[in-house]
């Protein structure tokens, strides 16, 4: 499988007329509701000086924007953020959304950033909506581990139950050689939001048993969750950030068994897209092609990715399961 960049890239750029997204718009997650493409993306505006975070002199607060399109290329943005900091646990920003639709509900995972004793604290948070107008926030979810033991990012639900269970993907210890993609299962959403007291500590002790994609000994960064999994007739298609031994972020793909996603049926031998264009190689962070959205429409795979931590971009391929 190889991806071809769209000729209109970047398809979404910072907007100087909107202060909350004047600096960057990136890491888009996209679903198709049967009529239109719906995109949520991370946005940052002007930097503000800060004094209470060790190692930082200024900060750009992230919010999550909403856009929609009927062709998957030309997106019309909403003028105000869809998700923005409202509570202490997300006071420093709402980052990197991922959408999963289960039944008539859209679940939105995002990275919530706050401060504790002068240090940044990063956790997964969950919100839900049926119409992208009224948003219900459930707050921090998933493992809550000390910062010196790594951190959890990049959550996503599978869009349907597996073996009668609600299945969740997430990245443990991201941005490190130990970064790994894990799968956890729950009886229902209530159990996920409020699991038993020892659930996550026991889960992480045996995390290798829950691995979907693991790093090798050569990794500078291990694999990380990218887009929400897509169900195909042949298996679950994962578009994800692939392990790398260099200082770049690349896009990889894999096909997983429908009944047991831990079983890999096929995996790309290397990146299906990596930083090559100027808008990918030079940005707020250089050498970034990071996938957070994937949609199959009319036999074509649309992969949406953040470029240089500044732009939203699109790459496609058809047929979508061809080497």
pLDDT tens sequence across 270-311: 899 999 999 999 999 999 999 999 999 999 999 999 999 999
Q: Binning pLDDT at 50, 70 and 90, where does residue 146 land?
A: low
Show Cβ contacts of residue 262 under 8 Å, excluding neighbours closer than 6 positions: 183, 210, 211, 212, 256
Q: pTM value? A: 0.95
pLDDT score for 170: 95
CA distance 316 to 282: 22
Three-class SS state of 300: strand
Other C-beta atoms within 10 Å of 232: how many?
14
pLDDT score for 175: 85
CATH (residue range 4-317): 2.115.10.20
CA distance 169 to 145: 17
Maximum alpha-carbon separation in the chain? 53
pLDDT score for 265: 96
The predicted-structure confidence for 46-87, as pLDDT tens digits, reads as follows: 988 887 777 788 889 999 999 999 999 999 999 999 999 999
Token pair 């260099």 in the structure block, residue = 246
pLDDT mean over 15-30 = 97
CA distance 265 to 163: 18
């Amino acid at each position: 499988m190889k991806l071809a960049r769209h000729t209109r890239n970047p398809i979404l750029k910072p907007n100087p007329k909107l202060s909350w997204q004047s600096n960057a718009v990136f890491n888009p997650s996209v679903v198709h509701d049967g009529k239109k493409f719906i995109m949520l993306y991370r946005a940052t505006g002007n930097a503000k000086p800060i004094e209470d975070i060790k190692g930082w002199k200024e900060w750009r607060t992230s919010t999550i924007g909403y856009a929609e399109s009927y062709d998957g290329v030309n997106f019309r943005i909403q003028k105000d953020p869809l998700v923005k900091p409202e509570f202490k646990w997300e006071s420093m920003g709402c980052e990197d959304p991922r959408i999963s639709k289960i039944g008539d509900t859209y679940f939105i995972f995002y990275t919530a950033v706050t401060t504790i004793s002068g240090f940044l604290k990063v956790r997964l948070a969950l919100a839900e909506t049926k119409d992208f107008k009224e948003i219900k926030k459930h707050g921090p979810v998933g493992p809550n581990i000390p910062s010196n033991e790594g951190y959890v990012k990049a959550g996503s639900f599978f869009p349907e139950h597996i073996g009668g269970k609600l299945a969740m993907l997430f990245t443990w210890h991201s941005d490190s050689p130990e970064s790994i993609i894990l799968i956890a299962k729950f009886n229902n959403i209530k159990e996920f939001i409020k699991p038993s007291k020892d659930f996550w500590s026991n889960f992480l002790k045996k995390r290798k048993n829950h691995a979907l994609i693991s790093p090798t000994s050569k990794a500078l960064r291990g694999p990380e969750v990218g887009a929400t999994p897509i169900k195909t007739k042949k298996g679950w298609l994962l578009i994800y950030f692939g392990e790398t031994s260099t200082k770049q972020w690349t896009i990889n793909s894999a096909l997983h068994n429908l009944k047991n996603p831990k079983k890999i049926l096929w995996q790309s031998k290397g990146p299906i897209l990596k930083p090559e264009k100027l808008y990918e190689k030079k940005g707020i962070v250089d050498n970034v092609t990071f996938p957070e959205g994937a949609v199959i429409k009319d036999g074509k795979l649309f992969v949406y990715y953040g470029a240089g931590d500044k732009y939203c971009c699109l790459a496609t391929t058809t047929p979508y399961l061809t080497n």
